[in-house]
Structure 1
Amino acid sequence: MRFEPILVGLCSMQMARYIVWFVIITGCIAQEDMDRKVFLFPKETATSYITLKPEQSEPLKKFTVCLQSYTQLTREHSLFSMANSGTESDNTFLIYLKPPNYCMVYINQEEIRFRIDSEVLELKHTCASWDSDTGVVQLWINGKAYPRRVSNKGFTILAPYSIILGQEQDSYGGGFDAKQSFVGEISDVHMWDYVLTFEDINNVLSNVKNGNVVSWKSLWYESKGEVFVQPKLQCTSWGYSTRQYYPCS
């Protein structure tokens, strides 16, 4: 009987070791309200990225993705990369910038190239939508709609799919190239399983509309490599001709 406390203590220590190893092996998976926070990607790398865990994993026939980015990059880089586990899975959906004047949206490997306004060292709010029923692809940057295009009418994005920030996937969940990586800040990432209206886009810009597939205010994500969660230092009022910055509180 006198040995029971010792045995209990040993068991507790062993369990603690298992818990520590479980945390190390599984990595950093979290659900967090990211309002007024950013993901900071500090340097060019092929090993640092964020994997988003969607609220649902159903096949997609239409969707909208919105996010805010802030970077000094003058080379091309990925903003939002989605791949599924099927054949030729990379570029299932991709938002890819070639500064200063081009934004590419990829649907099922097909590139749709938009010529955009040049904005150097400015916060950029980007939304892209696609509707399988019509094939219409639409791009909004800082509240401005660019001419609509058509791609992959009738196509369906099958589940499961991998959603990554900070890298461009050349295979499902991998195949990264440091020269395509994002360096800077990304925030306010939302995704919906429908196409947003003009009024919806304005509500997103006003931070009053949250995604139902991915929501920045209830974000499930896994962090790999060197990515930091930091407070957002400046907010902005999105206007059609002028923009004002103010401290985030």
Structure 2
Amino acid sequence: MWVCLLLWVSGVLGQKDMKEKLFAFPKESVNSHVKLLPEHSGPFIEATVCMRFHSNLTREYSLFSLATETKHNAFLLFYHPAPRNQLLLSIDNKDQYYDLQGNNFTEWTSLCATWNSSVQAVWIDGKNYNKNRISDGNIKANPIIIIGQEQDLYGGKFNISESFVGEITDINMWDKALTDDNIIDYFAANAINGNILNWNNLSYNLTGGVNKHPYADPYPCIPV
């Protein structure tokens, strides 16, 4: 009884190979989310995040929210729909916007964002969007990583108008800036797994109305 009560209070804990599975967020919510537990806690002076997803939302929403105790946008991927049609990549609370040139993410999309002290880049479906240098920045230790919501405080203060509705799969994170060849490998669905978040050995805490499902195409990607 106490075990059941603990799971009900804290959410559903899991650790498993998520290959050929996805997280589905069926409706907007102020609390539904998945907390992804990293393999190690940093700090990080460079990083790459890759994921595949789709959504029919026409409002803005968060895709990947990593917060530290001092920076709630330590590594944030956030979509602004038309007329802006921009993807925000925020590192160490420093924002950079990328014009998406018509891509609205309603179809399965493969996305990578990579960063170190000299380069910052976003790749979408095999296309490299312009790179932008940043002068400094780092991600402090003990991050909280959440999909489905955006953290406006460390681990919380969610806003329903920024919640994600749709499906997300194949999330990986590395403590380095991947090379162009590495990223092309990800888009080509080759075996490339993160050392911070590894979709094939993922630890997570699921809260609220999030579901896990299999999906027909285990690698919704584009030919390269």
TM-score category by the smaller chain?
Answer: over 0.9
Q: Which of 197, 210, 213 is the aligned partner of 1:227?
A: 210
Q: Which of 148, 163, 166 is the aligned partner of 1:181?
A: 163
Are the structure 2 counterparts of residues 21 and 74 from structure 1 closer, same or farther at C-alpha, using a change threshold of 3 Å?
closer
Q: What do residues 87-111 of structure 1 show as CA deviations (whole Å, max 9, x unaligned)? A: xx21111001112421110112221
Distance (Å, rounded) in 1 between the aligned partners of 2:150 and 2:221: 30
Are the structure 2 counterparts of residues 104 and 239 from structure 1 closer, same or farther at C-alpha, using a change threshold of 3 Å?
same
Give the partner amino acid of 1:44: E
Verify the 8 A CA contact 2:125 2:221 in the aligned structure 1.
Answer: no
Distance (Å, rounded) in 2 between the aligned partners of 1:22 and 1:177: 25
Distance (Å, rounded) in 2 between the aligned partners of 1:20 and 1:78: 31
Distance (Å, rounded) in 2 between the aligned partners of 1:157 and 1:237: 29
Quote the residue 2:94 is aligned against: 110
State the shift of 1:26 in Å: 4.3
Q: What do residues 27-82 of structure 1 show as CA deviations (whole Å, max 9, x unaligned)? A: 31110111111100000111100000000112000010000111101111100001
Distance (Å, rounded) in 2 between the aligned partners of 1:224 and 1:19: 16
Higher RCO structure, 1 or 2 (CA under 8 Å, sep 6+): 2
Distance (Å, rounded) in 2 between the aligned partners of 1:94 and 1:237: 22
Distance (Å, rounded) in 2 between the aligned partners of 1:109 and 1:158: 12
Q: What do residues 160-210 of structure 1 show as CA deviations (whole Å, max 9, x unaligned)? A: 111000001000010110110100000000000011111101211214100
Identity of counterpart residues, as a percentage?
37
Q: What do residues 199-246 of structure 1 show as CA deviations (whole Å, max 9, x unaligned)? A: 101211214100000011100000010000001133445136xxxxxx
Larger Rg: 1
User: What is the alpha-carbon root mean square deviation over aligned residues?
Assistant: 1.5
Verify the 8 A CA contact 2:11 2:208 in the aligned structure 1.
Answer: no
Could you tell me the TM-score, scaled by structure 1's length?
Answer: 0.83
Quote the residue 2:114 is aligned against: 129
5+ residue gaps, structure 1: 1-16, 241-249
Distance (Å, rounded) in 2 between the aligned partners of 1:19 and 1:75: 39
SS at match of 1:149: coil
